[in-house]
Structure 1
Amino acid sequence: MNGKLVFLSKRLLWWTFWAIIGVLVLNAAVGLWMQYQHLVFNDSTCEPIGIYKLLGSPYPLHDGELVEVEIPGPAHHAAIAEGLKYHWFPAGQPWIKEIAAVPGQAVILARSGARVDGHTLPNSRVDRWTPSHHHRIVHYPFGTYHLKRGQVWLYAPGNYAFDSSYYGPVPETSILQRAVPWWTIPGSQFWLQKGD
């Protein structure tokens, strides 16, 4: 009886080992395939969660386009430093955002939201607190901003989206590539529920 238990335990360990190897190989294969297809996975609810296809050079930049963005450094604004400190997003992982405004356009930022050339961006109210109300959120100063050459204003429609309303305009050089949804979960940008 004891020998049978030892045999079953060894067999279970053997199958567990091969299952782990299989998962690792599959994960590596999917990663290589996505890289070859120029696909990236977005797990942030700033935009719908899912897979986005990268289309190469974003230039010339246009408002309304989705882009892959290199995260600004913590020296760029206190909100970036705060987000990194509390692990609201991983350091060094590019974001998927929408370009809301390009040089020559005006952005009015208020608690109620951001307006670009007179049009309010949907669901852009500036939040005061994190979803759990554990941390007050640093935001960009309210006011009117006329984007200068080399600047873009980023926007994301999701609840608690972290965009230029919190860290201000970013340099055009932060924009890596244009992006389009390849497969996403509709409505997932609203999964985090807004509080009062």
Structure 2
Amino acid sequence: MIHLRKNALSFPYTPFTTQRRHWKRLLPFAVIGAIVAGSVTAWDHGDWRLNLSPSEPMGIWSVTPISPGTKLHVGEIVTLCPRLPEGFHYGWLMDKTHAANACADGRAPYIKIIVAGPGDMVHETDRGVIIDGHPLPDSQPLPFTTSKPQVRLPQWRGTITLKPGQYWAYGAGDPRFSFDSRYWGPFLRAQVRGVADPVVVWKYRWTPKVDN
């Protein structure tokens, strides 16, 4: 052992240097793995959210639970558990029954952006949604899901001026396929779980598979 220490002082110890450089190359992957593992663990405790839906940018989100004094604003992204219309099948929605902060029906809270609030006028037709005279891009509702087999979707139609405590949800990641207020109408502040902020996210333009 003493002889090796003397050599180490007299000559560069190349194997150790090579090994250290090797670990430096692996460090980014280790950090990414730790972030993903931590996010999945934190998701079960309601602090972070691993979003795999293209409705909003996919990736890791930080979720801050709302308190009675939290004010919601247009432009904020929230997690919520809206009340869905009865008489429709929702088995195609991804379940998260193991999550500690799941909705009452066992599914993960949706992550959506608020595009209208109290006092705003929302008008929806088969061609899309208009808020205070401004059309929402890519907001034409779909009659059926893109899953196989296809399932009929609920359809909200009409004009409403949102009352205090009412908001309109929209999926701004890839709104063409977002399951939002176009289908279940306004949501209530009481149905909001938290305010979401992006940590590591990316936009994904999803294309459903079409049978030939």
Report if TM-score (shorter chain) is over 0.5: yes
Query: Of the candidates 183, 189, 200, which is equivalent to residue 172 of structure 1?
Result: 189
Specify the alignment match of 2:112 in structure 1.
Answer: 97
Listed as ranges, the matches of 1:151-162 within 5 Å are 151-157=166-172, 158=174, 159-162=176-179
d(CA) in 2 for partners of 1:162, 1:124: 11
- Matched with 1:51 is 60
Kept after mapping to 2: 8 A contact 1:68/1:94? yes
Alignment of 1:108-127 (within 5 A): 108-127=123-142
2:78 maps to 1:67? yes
Q: C-alpha root-mean-square deviation of aligned residues, in Å?
A: 2.9
Which of 1 and 2 has greater Rg?
2
SS at match of 2:89: helix
- 2:7 matched residue in structure 1: none
Q: Is residue 155 of structure 2 the alignment partner of residue 139 of structure 1? A: yes
Contact 2:89–2:151 (8 Å) recurs in 1? no
TM-superposed deviation, 1:119: 1.3
Identity %: 30
4+ residue segments displaced more than 4 Å: 26-29, 33-37
Q: CA 1:112–1:29 in 2, change beyond 3 Å: closer, same or farther?
A: closer
Q: Which runs of 5+ in 1 are unaligned?
A: 1-25
Aligned residue in 2 for 1:128: 143
TM-score w.r.t. the length of structure 2 is 0.66
Aligned length: 161
User: How does the TM-score come out when normalised to structure 1?
Assistant: 0.71
8 Å contact kept, 2:117–2:167: yes
